[in-house]
Each structure stands twice: as structure tokens, then as C-alpha cells.
Amino acid sequence: MGISNLVAIPATALVTVLIAKYLKPHELGLLMTGEAFVQMFSFFFTMGFKNSIYQYASKHAQGFQEGLREAMGNALLVRLIVGIPIGLVVYFLGVKFNQDSNLVKIIGLYVIMELLTSMGNIFGIVRRALNQFKLVASISALNKLVKLSLVFVVLHYLGGGLLELVYAFVLMEVFKFVVSFIATINLIRPRLSLPDILPLMKESTLYGIFDFLDNAQNKVDRLMLNYLIGPSAVAFYSIPSKLNRLIRVIPNSIKQVFLPQLHQAKDEESVKPIVKKLLIILLVTGLPLSLGIYFFSEPLLAKFFSAEYQAAIELAPWFAFIAVIWFMNISPDMLLASKGDHQGRNWVQVISVVTNIGLNFYLIPRFGIIGAVQATIAANLLKFVLMQLRLQISFGK
């Protein structure tokens, strides 16, 4: 997984650089706003299956693998039943609340991509549960390289524009879905268990509320900037923000490895050695990466972006503080998830998102784009503190 990140992170960074190079700030702002608008509703597409599938399989009477087959089949059926009408609703909201015709088209295309991604993610969850990390890593690296190639071909070689780029992204999602489907079916075949669909949906919904709020917290800054300042502000904010989010590939990879283990742990004694390894890996990876962002991100971005994006370049060091808190939040979040503490996790996330929105309303009019960064730092730090308190209550020590 670490080796695949050596391919995935630079490839994704180059995608952001190329898009910013060939699109105007207003166009880039529309692209980022459309993406953020659709992904604000990701709860209805993803529904927390990454945790509930592990929970279902680990408690199945006939063993983990048989439980995994049923969980996969049921999850795919639920995604089809729920995802299509929700996609239509999201598109309708996009038409209702956005006047720009290009933004409406982008929202519609991102709805299609979100549907395909949500189906493909089920296969990814199953492959990780089967410890097929070489396969997961290979597919992840391939996806990033395909996207980089598409951006270069569409914007540079073919001379396309914003909409042509988004159409190419839709084709890429179709390709990803097909590859993911074939790779997973060769390992394990899904099986339906209709009586277990409602219990799985209930558990997934409770897990999904947290994932939805977490995703909303990551998108609310762009939407608030678009509302309070305009699309160009979103473009300037999105460059360092998107590049900084590349760092999340590393903690997400760590979670992919450790989350199935935590769900399958039988008691707190078996959890301790897993957590010890987790904390060591988080420290070894998180601290150097955060320091690197703080000291080197600004001069590095200055080499790739013109003076037109100076406002974006100056923001970059601030995102080091966000990266630190991301790594800090992983351990308590995963422990509470494995324990099924839905009430605690969701209330913490609600408080964090509401704080983020309130601080954005206060800080952006006073400090501009940097106010959005400060709001995100404060909200994520509050989330970490509340998570730690909840962890102490949940584990009783």
C-alpha cells in the first residue's frame, strides 16, 4: 500500500497542477464547486458500508467469508435501490439552487460518477477484507495514472475545455467500475440474504451518518467560499487544499489495513497490540509529512503555479496543521467505529461541522480565504478533543 502511494500521490498532484494550468480560475472554481456540491450528499451513496460489512462478516454464524459474500450481495442491491433516486434528487437540487448552466451540467455528471464510485467501493471493501492489498494497491495506482493521462490528453493534446474534461472523468469511472468488478468476482461471488438486508441497512446508516458529516466537513469550506466570495476564491483555496488532501491517501491506506483487524478483534486485550502498531505507524508517517508541508509547500507550489495563483501559494503552510490533526484523529475514530459507538461518533461530528460552518461565517468576511483554513483547523481540533473524551468514556480508561 505504501509503494502504491509513491505512484498515487505524485500522479494526483500532477492532475491538480495540470487542471490549474489549463483552466481559468473561474472554470477551476466551477469544477471544484460542482464536485463539492455532489459529494456533500455522499452519505446517500456510500452509507457507511466500509464498517458495516466488516461487522456483519465478523459476526456471521458460518464464518467470515460466507458473511462477506452475503454482505457484498446485500450492499450492492441496497446501492442500486437507494442510489438512483437519490442521484436524481441531487441533480434536481443542483438545477434549483445554481444558475450557471455549466455548473448544473457538472453537477449532473458528478452524480453519475458518484453512483459508479459507490458501487465500485463495495468491491474495494471486500478485497481489503480478504487481505488482497497488492491487488488494492495496483488498482489504486492504475486509477491515478489513468486520470493523469486523461487530463493531459483532453486539455493539452486535444485542446478540450472544462466540460470535455468532466466527460472524460465519467468515462474513467466506468473503466474503474469494470476493472473493480472483474477483480473482485474472481476472488469471491456475492450472495443475497434478503432477511438480513434491513439490519445491514440500519447498521450502515448509523456508520454512514458519521462518514457523511466527515465528508461534509471536508467540503463545507469550498461551498462557503463560493457563497461568501465567489468561484475564484474556491479556485485559490482548492489548489493547496486538494494537494494537502493527497496526504489523506496515507492515513486512509493505514485505515484500510487496520480497520478489518479492529473489527475482528474479540476483546480489548486483543485490541491493544493492534493499536500500538497503529500509533507507531501514524507517528512515523504523520509527523514528517506535516513538517514537510509547513516548510516546503510554499516554495514548491511557487515553482509550478504562476503569479496569478499567488493567493493560493501563500495559504499552503497553513494546511500542515490540518494534516497533523487528521493523523491524530485516526486512532480514536477507528476504535470508536470498531466498538459501534454510533451515538458518540455522530454527535462529535455534528458539533464539529456546526462549529466549522459558524466559524466560516465569522472568519471569511473578516480575513478572506485564510479564514476558511482557520475555521477548518479549529473545527478539526475540537473534533479530536471530543473524540478523545468519548474514547475515555467508551473504553472506561
pLDDT over threshold 60, residue 397 = no
Task: Return d(Cα 242, Cα 147) in angstroms, integer.
Answer: 15
Contact 359, 374 (CB under 8 A): yes
pLDDT of residue 285: 85
pLDDT of residue 168: 92
- For the chain, give the percent of residues with pLDDT over 90: 10
- Going by C-alpha positions, the residue among 219, 214, 216, 226 that lies closest to residue 364 is 226
Using 50, 70 and 90 to split pLDDT, how confident is the model at 395? low
pLDDT over threshold 60, residue 133 = yes
Q: How far apart are the first and last CA of the chain?
A: 33
pLDDT over threshold 60, residue 150 = yes
pLDDT of residue 235: 76
> HEC states along 28-83?
HHHHHHHHHHHHCCCHHHHCCHHHHHHHHHHCCCCCHHHHHHHHHHHHHHHHHHHH
Reading the block at residue 140, the C-alpha cell is 489504486
pLDDT of residue 266: 66
Task: Return d(Cα 95, Cα 105) in angstroms, integer.
Answer: 9
Read out DSSP for 227-249?
Answer: HHT-HHHHHHHHHHHHHHHGGGH
User: For 26-77, how does the pLDDT look when each residue is reduced to its tens digit (9 = 90+)?
Assistant: 888 888 888 878 877 776 677 667 778 888 887 777 887 888 889 899 988 8
Question: Dihedral (C-alpha) 183, 186, 188, 194: value to the nearest 10 degrees?
Answer: 80
Show Cβ contacts of residue 178 under 8 Å, excluding neighbours closer than 6 positions. Answer: none
- Select the more confidently predicted residue: 109 or 41: 109
Show Cβ contacts of residue 172 under 8 Å, excluding neighbours closer than 6 positions. Answer: 143, 146, 147, 150
Task: Return d(Cα 42, Cα 51) in angstroms, integer.
Answer: 15
Show Cβ contacts of residue 162 under 8 Å, excluding neighbours closer than 6 positions. Answer: 23, 27, 30, 31, 102, 106
Task: Return d(Cα 214, Cα 38) in angstroms, integer.
Answer: 14
pLDDT of residue 386: 92
Task: Return d(Cα 277, Cα 330) in angstroms, integer.
Answer: 13
Task: Return d(Cα 371, Cα 146) in angstroms, integer.
Answer: 35
- Select the more confidently predicted residue: 110 or 201: 110
pLDDT over threshold 90, residue 4 = no
Task: Return d(Cα 35, Cα 113) in angstroms, integer.
Answer: 10
Q: Show the beta-strand stretches assigned E in the chain.
A: none
Instruction: Give me the mean pLDDT over the 105-111 stretch.
Output: 91
Instruction: Give me the mean pLDDT over the 244-268 stretch.
Output: 76
Contact 379, 356 (CB under 8 A): yes
Count the neighbouring beta carbons within 10 Å of the beta carbon of residue 294. 17
Reading the block at residue 393, the C-alpha cell is 468514556
Q: Is 172 left (phi over 0), alpha (psi -120 to 50) or beta?
A: alpha
Q: Which of 91-95, 349-353, 374-378 is the least confident region?
A: 91-95
pLDDT of residue 197: 86
Task: Return d(Cα 162, Cα 169) in angstroms, integer.
Answer: 11
pLDDT of residue 303: 80
Instruction: Give me the mean pLDDT over the 321-347 stretch.
Output: 84
pLDDT of residue 385: 93
User: For 184-207, how does the pLDDT look when each residue is reduced to its tens digit (9 = 90+)?
Assistant: 888 888 888 888 888 888 888 888
H-run or E-run covering 92: helix 64-97
User: For 269-301, how does the pLDDT look when each residue is reduced to its tens digit (9 = 90+)?
Assistant: 778 888 888 888 888 888 888 888 888 888 888
Instruction: Give me the mean pLDDT over the 236-254 stretch.
Output: 75
**Alpha-carbon distances, residue 269 vs 94, 222, 243, 258 (angstroms):** 49, 42, 38, 16
Task: Return d(Cα 250, Cα 256) in angstroms, integer.
Answer: 10
pLDDT of residue 382: 93
Show Cβ contacts of residue 167 under 8 Å, excluding neighbours closer than 6 positions. Answer: 109
pLDDT over threshold 80, residue 219 = no
**Average pLDDT in the chain:** 83
Instruction: Give me the mean pLDDT over the 343-363 stretch.
Output: 89
pLDDT over threshold 60, residue 89 = yes
H-run or E-run covering 188: none
- Going by C-alpha positions, the residue among 259, 268, 207, 183 that lies closest to residue 75 is 207
Q: DSSP state, 152?
A: I
Contact 13, 242 (CB under 8 A): no
